[in-house]
Structure 1
Amino acid sequence: MRQWTHAEYTDAAGREIERMADVVAKQDMSVPVPTCPGWDVGALVAHTGGVHRWAAAMVRDLAERRYDREAMDLGVPEDRAGYAAWLREGGPILVEALRAQDPAAPVWVWGGDRHVRWWSRRQLHETAVHRVDAEIALGMAPEIGEHEGADGVEEFLDNLPYARWRPRIRELTGEGETISLQSDSGAGWVITLNPDGFSYERSQQPGTVTVRAASSGDLMLLAWNRRRSGDYSVEGDASLLTWWLERACV
């Protein structure tokens, strides 16, 4: 698998922001987003562009605490017709903040790697997932590249134990049952449910339940609950996969 640098994550995040802005440009902002219940495209854009500016501020300041995003003036346009341009304008703000800092500099994060490099990786995948949300809402076929998808699966699994606002994540325990995620590209992971939580490793071994997909991007969409398990080839205990997906929901 490709090993990403902070600079590569940063550049890729910038490209994803451009891509999402292209997707939503001149679109109806009132279209519901089925993968984000209660949101329409406008709310999705406002959230994503706000996260970019919020993250940029904390990285720029090397914040030791979480900034209150709701209390920040993020410059969201009053007229939703300006949302796509505003989203696009947030790209350079985020990219410049990330480029200006040492990737190993400490900063507040909600995950485990409490350094600037966590934010470049997180913002790449944050934006990719929400770009997919917009594409699904607008009737487009979403795609995630192989390299981005493979890293996105691992980023999801790395951060999942820290998503403390989702209490059901604490239920992801077991007695050694395994969930195997396998791609036709050759990338694969096996998640093991332990009494005190879960672990994962890169492996092409089958599991108690095994999911097979064409690409790592497809597996990333499954991990983020952006595609239904019924769209995949599932071998073994399908109820275990359903159980996992119900709880591993960020």
Structure 2
Amino acid sequence: MSDALLNALAEALADVVISIDTCEDDILDPDTAVKWLETTGFLLDRLPPADRRELARLFRRAAGRHPEGAWHDELLRIPDSFGLDDDQHELYCDAIEHVERRFLAAVREADPATPVTTCPGWTLADLVRHHGTTHRWMEHLVRTGAAERVRLREVPLHLPDDPADYPDWLARSTETALDTLRKVDPDTPMWSNGADQRVGYFPRRLLFEAIVHLADAELSLGREPSVTPGTAADGIEEFLENLPYFSWLAEPVARLADGSIGLSSRDTGASWTVTFGEAGFAWTKSAAAAPSVHVAGPSGDLLLLMYGRRGADDPRFKVTGDRAVLTTWLAATTF
């Protein structure tokens, strides 16, 4: 793509954003304006860090082509308003830290023998051990710059004997993992079990592991999980991006009959279409005209639905079309 085209696209986007943001309420409904800007922010947030920084540079260059004044100032504010200069790798690490604090607060005050309702046969002690093991495994991979798969049994866990000590062990595991992740360039190539073969894969994957297991703990303790819309929408895409690389999901999905699922987020305005069957698995960030079944709901609940932590009959969702297609999909993809 030429520099001229990139500059033109950036300035056109900037003009649209500023026009929406500064439009009078009697011309454009404020709720519609917010929804449009949130959707734009969501899409820009999914760009790789290098592309986000480049887009911020293009917006500033566009500002330099305008005389000083209100429009020039609005152009300069766009990179900050969309967080384009933020370090995505560090943001994922910060988000993990926040979610793990919530997870630890929940499990520390609970009986380790409490059954985990969303993981039949597990107790909270099992959940904490599993989650801490994931931290230890990912930290080991990144610290050693693994070029191939490392089995869990090859990673030193230093697991305490008493399940009552598991939360403190998880806290140490989290601290060590984040310390390692923050020291390594996210663009460093390495082996991963997902689509992104770089260090940057791991904080994103660990964040959604943490969010889902926090939901496991909260639901088991009679509390309602809450996931912010933008994070949840990112989590839906992370799940779909990596599904073909997770054999325990990809193999049952490959056996499904032809079908398609439309997902619509009520709070971000984002939509996704998932297709599967004889032609293989695929997904797009758009709404299909007539999917086999369509599910609309808040992003956080859609994420938990994808992971089998919400049921399709939950009143938070509006389901239209062939529910059997959704049921078979969920049965094949429950994490």
Structure 2, unaligned stretches of length 5 or more?
Answer: 1-41, 48-87
Separation in 2 of the partners of 1:80 and 1:248? Answer: 30
Residues matched between the structures, number: 247
Kindly state the Cα deviation for residue 194 of structure 1 after the two structures are TM-superposed: 5.1
The alignment status of 1:183 with 2:265, answered yes or no, reads yes
Separation in 1 of the partners of 2:305 and 2:106? Answer: 21
Amino acid at match of 2:215: V
Say if 1:172 and 1:198, in contact at 8 Å, map to a contact too: no
Say if 1:190 and 1:202, in contact at 8 Å, map to a contact too: yes
Runs of 4+ in structure 1 deviating by more than 4 angstroms, as ranges, are none
Separation in 2 of the partners of 1:171 and 1:14? Answer: 38
Kindly state the Cα deviation for residue 53 of structure 1 after the two structures are TM-superposed: 1.2
Say if 1:210 and 1:234, in contact at 8 Å, map to a contact too: yes
Give the 3 Å change call, closer, same or farther, for CA 71–60 of structure 1 in structure 2: closer
The alignment status of 1:150 with 2:239, answered yes or no, reads no
Residue 129 (structure 1) aligns with: 212
Give the 3 Å change call, closer, same or farther, for CA 173–151 of structure 1 in structure 2: farther
Residue 43 (structure 1) aligns with: 126
Give the 3 Å change call, closer, same or farther, for CA 147–77 of structure 1 in structure 2: same
Secondary structure at the counterpart of residue 124 of structure 1: helix
For residues 78-99 of structure 1, the C-alpha deviation after alignment (integer angstroms, 9 at most, x for no partner) is 1222222221222221111111
Separation in 2 of the partners of 1:63 and 1:193? Answer: 32
Residue 171 (structure 1) aligns with: 255
Give the 3 Å change call, closer, same or farther, for CA 165–3 of structure 1 in structure 2: closer
Of Structure 1 and Structure 2, the greater helix share is in 2
Secondary structure at the counterpart of residue 67 of structure 1: coil
For residues 155-181 of structure 1, the C-alpha deviation after alignment (integer angstroms, 9 at most, x for no partner) is 11111111113431322462xx32111
The alignment status of 1:242 with 2:327, answered yes or no, reads yes
Give the alignment partner of residue 12 of structure 1, picking from 76, 80, 95: 95
Separation in 2 of the partners of 1:72 and 1:117? Answer: 21
Residue 29 (structure 1) aligns with: 112
Separation in 2 of the partners of 1:173 and 1:113? Answer: 28
Tell me which moved more, 193-202 or 56-65: 193-202
Quick one: higher RCO (CA 8 Å, sep 6+), 1 or 2? 1
Separation in 2 of the partners of 1:107 and 1:14? Answer: 23
Residue 46 (structure 2) aligns with: 3
Give the alignment partner of residue 89 of structure 1, picking from 172, 184, 188: 172
Separation in 2 of the partners of 1:34 and 1:110? Answer: 27
Kindly state the Cα deviation for residue 50 of structure 1 after the two structures are TM-superposed: 1.1
Separation in 2 of the partners of 1:146 and 1:15? Answer: 16
Kindly state the Cα deviation for residue 193 of structure 1 after the two structures are TM-superposed: 2.5
Amino acid at match of 2:46: Q
The alignment status of 1:108 with 2:151, answered yes or no, reads no
Secondary structure at the counterpart of residue 150 of structure 2: coil
Secondary structure at the counterpart of residue 228 of structure 1: coil
Separation in 2 of the partners of 1:170 and 1:205? Answer: 21
Kindly state the Cα deviation for residue 197 of structure 1 after the two structures are TM-superposed: 1.5
Q: Which has the larger radius of gyration?
A: 2
Kindly state the Cα deviation for residue 205 of structure 1 after the two structures are TM-superposed: 4.5
Identical columns (%) = 38
Separation in 1 of the partners of 2:197 and 2:154? Answer: 23
Residue 147 (structure 2) aligns with: 64
The alignment status of 1:52 with 2:135, answered yes or no, reads yes
Say if 1:173 and 1:194, in contact at 8 Å, map to a contact too: yes
Secondary structure at the counterpart of residue 169 of structure 1: helix
Give the 3 Å change call, closer, same or farther, for CA 162–15 of structure 1 in structure 2: same
Structure 1, unaligned stretches of length 5 or more?
Answer: none
Secondary structure at the counterpart of residue 50 of structure 1: helix
